[in-house]
Structure 1
Amino acid sequence: MQNFDRQYRMTAGKPGSVGFEIGDTTPYALHIAFSIQKQELESSNTAKVQVWNLNKSHLATLEEEGCFLTLKAGYGNTLPLILSGSVSYTRTQPDGADVMTEIEVVDGLAEIRDTWVSISYAGKVNTKKIIDDVAAQMGVTVTYSYNAEFADIPNGFSFVGQAKFALTKACAVSGLEWSIQNGILQVKKPGDVMSKEVYVLSAETGLLSIPQRVQVSSSDSDGTNEIGWDIEFLMNGAIGIGDYVQVQSKYLEGFFRISTLDIDGDNLSGDWKCKARVLEVTG
């Protein structure tokens, strides 16, 4: 697992506008640090990005209502998307001889908080149709796990209100759960993975330190606890919430799903790392 030639590209601006991009290494890349928290819940993922010495035009763009930010980061020409969301807060202050801007970003902020939908179906309707239509009104792409199943509602369905509650109702009928990850609506079975693709995490692919065993409350209604592991690895932006990983170390061997994920990095110091909580696949 390489940990050199670290690159990033950050873009910001209102949807449909030109905005700005930073991170190109010619003549140099601005100093950036990021801390991103993701989880497989209906609540929004959050992130904090710090950038040094932005110009007045950059700052004005970030302060525009509806400003949207994306961050890609990786090594060489491989720059997967690790953050996508709405700017919820900015603060600019002196930092020694420099000026640092702190940016807080919320994934799916407008879609989850502000989107209301009105839908109505007569007769039998499949829950996938409902989820697809709600996603369309939210303006988001929807992806389903490889083995998601969708039940029919026999006597019609009507809903007027916040889109997130319509999604929860439709998913509950089919025993599914939803979350927004990098601006994409993700629907899967509880405790399951999104696809059969497996990422190997070993010392050769960036696995760090010793996995720590943890006990967490299950998301299922029976109230049972789950045994999982907290692991750390060199940043691989391709790995996200709901992904399938195989951990290979002398302390832990097995297949797990990514339940929570923290991504931290600074382009001028230290390693870029991911800290993940992995749980058994139960779907």
Structure 2
Amino acid sequence: MQTGTLFRHCYEIDIGEGGGRGKHFTSWQETPLQIEFDIVKNADEEPNRHMLRLFNLTSETADAISIMDNVVRLSAGYVEHTGAMLAAVGVITSAITTVQDGGTVTEIEFLDGYQEMRDAALSVAYPKGTKADAALRDIAQKMNLKLVMADRLPFREFLHGYSYYGAARVALRKICGDSGLEWSIQNGELQVIKSNGYTPRRAVVLSASSGMIGSPTRTRIAAKEKAMTEPKSAAKGKGTQAETDARKRQEAERRKQARQEKFLKKQKKDGWVVESLLLPQVNPGDIVKVEARKITAFMRVDAVRHSGSFYGDEWKTELNLREIVLDERDNKQQGATRR
């Protein structure tokens, strides 16, 4: 798809309880809402932290969607290409409405996998000889998540059996760690791949003709090992409406900074940063093929950031990448797709 044909932004947003649809917002309505989003994803065990802003909602609609643990599904894309594709899923952990420039802005923070990690408990016992993949399937079912696994994974065998009672996320960490695997939750799915490996999804080509913006930038910054922490809430207290809005904006800024830290946390030494027109289908652990003057190579996505403003110019994806050697069988199968 030539980049010159990709002009019109489109989106679909659903916010409601559990699997219910709830409130639906779309760019196809007669007067679409202005929206902004900042989607940050890493291939680690912490919930991916996302932000969505909805402008000038009625007070009734803002109140209806601003409920903790409501599920947000955000899809975005281009009218002239595939339309809106799933970019992020998560449960609401913060919702703040402020008055700005004579209108209102409802800012929602939602975390992918937060509820499942928080609530899912596990009680299992396996006889000797059981392989770890059986346990992973049980854990995914208990967490009510679809399990997506790469091919040919080196599952450990429980030589003396295995029993566990406690938080499902702790069992995931131990079972995957013992088998040389890594796990994360991406778009409401439990993703399991080899440690520093890649998913079986077909690679997307990043080139000037497919939407790459500028040239790949080499990074030589050591990965940040600082653990992600919950941003502190702004101090509450009585005051004028202006003071209240100022506190809310301060809290929103802290959360924005936390998302930025999470994105930078996976920036690898001797990696690459690439910007592209929006690629909502690309997730951490995927393979992309970079075709540029500086370099042509298959690379693993360590972190991805989708950001956009419906009526603005920004509608793009930023990727932190590192070169990777594909398994010979995968190399033959990777007929990379262009967008």
- Which of 271, 281, 285 in structure 2 is aligned with 1:228? 271
Structure 1 gaps of 5+ residues are 220-224
Distance 1:139 1:154, change over 3 A: same
Distance 1:5 1:159, change over 3 A: same
SS at match of 1:229: strand
Distance 1:104 1:196, change over 3 A: closer
- Give a deviation string over 1:203-235, Cα, whole Å, max 9, x none: 00111122221234499xxxxx75210111111
Inter-partner Cα distance in structure 2 for 1:24 and 1:138: 33
Distance 1:32 1:141, change over 3 A: same
Equivalent residue for 2:177? 172
Inter-partner Cα distance in structure 2 for 1:60 and 1:157: 47
SS at match of 1:4: coil
Inter-partner Cα distance in structure 1 for 2:125 and 2:57: 48
Equivalent residue for 2:148? 143
Counterpart mapping for 1:190-269 below 5 A? 190-195=195-200, 197-215=202-220, 216-217=222-223, 226-269=269-312
Equivalent residue for 1:222? none
- Identity, in percent, stands at 28
Task: Say how many residue pairs are matched.
Answer: 278
Equivalent residue for 2:319? 276
SS at match of 1:27: coil
Point out the structure with the larger strand share.
1
Inter-partner Cα distance in structure 2 for 1:18 and 1:165: 31
TM-score by length of 1: 0.93
- Give a deviation string over 1:163-197, Cα, whole Å, max 9, x none: 11101111122110100001110000122210162
- Give a deviation string over 1:248-275, Cα, whole Å, max 9, x none: 1112221101110011100001131111
RMSD: 1.8
Inter-partner Cα distance in structure 1 for 2:21 and 2:83: 24
Larger deviation: 44-53 or 143-152? Answer: 143-152
Q: Work out whether 1:28 is the aligned partner of 2:71.
A: no
Contact 1:62–1:87 (CA under 8 A) maintained in structure 2: no
SS at match of 1:262: strand
Distance 1:90 1:218, change over 3 A: closer
Larger deviation: 146-155 or 261-270? Answer: 146-155
Structure 2 gaps of 5+ residues are 226-267, 327-339
Aligned partner letter, 2:284: I
Equivalent residue for 1:67? 70
Equivalent residue for 2:130? 125
Shift of 1:4: 1.3
Inter-partner Cα distance in structure 1 for 2:325 and 2:171: 25
Inter-partner Cα distance in structure 1 for 2:38 and 2:17: 22
Inter-partner Cα distance in structure 2 for 1:44 and 1:275: 19
Inter-partner Cα distance in structure 2 for 1:34 and 1:43: 20
Contact 1:192–1:282 (CA under 8 A) maintained in structure 2: no
Shift of 1:64: 2.6
Shift of 1:140: 0.5
Aligned partner letter, 2:271: G
Inter-partner Cα distance in structure 1 for 2:78 and 2:161: 50
Point out the structure with the larger helix share.
2
- Which of 152, 160, 164 in structure 2 is aligned with 1:159? 164
Contact 2:68–2:94 (CA under 8 A) maintained in structure 1: no
SS at match of 1:81: strand
Inter-partner Cα distance in structure 2 for 1:70 and 1:252: 35
- Which of 186, 189, 197 in structure 2 is aligned with 1:184? 189
Contact 2:112–2:188 (CA under 8 A) maintained in structure 1: yes
Shift of 1:119: 1.2
Counterpart mapping for 1:6-155 below 5 A? 6-76=9-79, 77-155=82-160
Inter-partner Cα distance in structure 1 for 2:306 and 2:21: 27
Aligned partner letter, 1:122: P
Contact 1:9–1:21 (CA under 8 A) maintained in structure 2: yes
Larger deviation: 144-153 or 264-273? Answer: 144-153
Inter-partner Cα distance in structure 1 for 2:322 and 2:151: 19
TM-score by length of 2: 0.78
SS at match of 1:258: strand
Inter-partner Cα distance in structure 2 for 1:111 and 1:196: 24
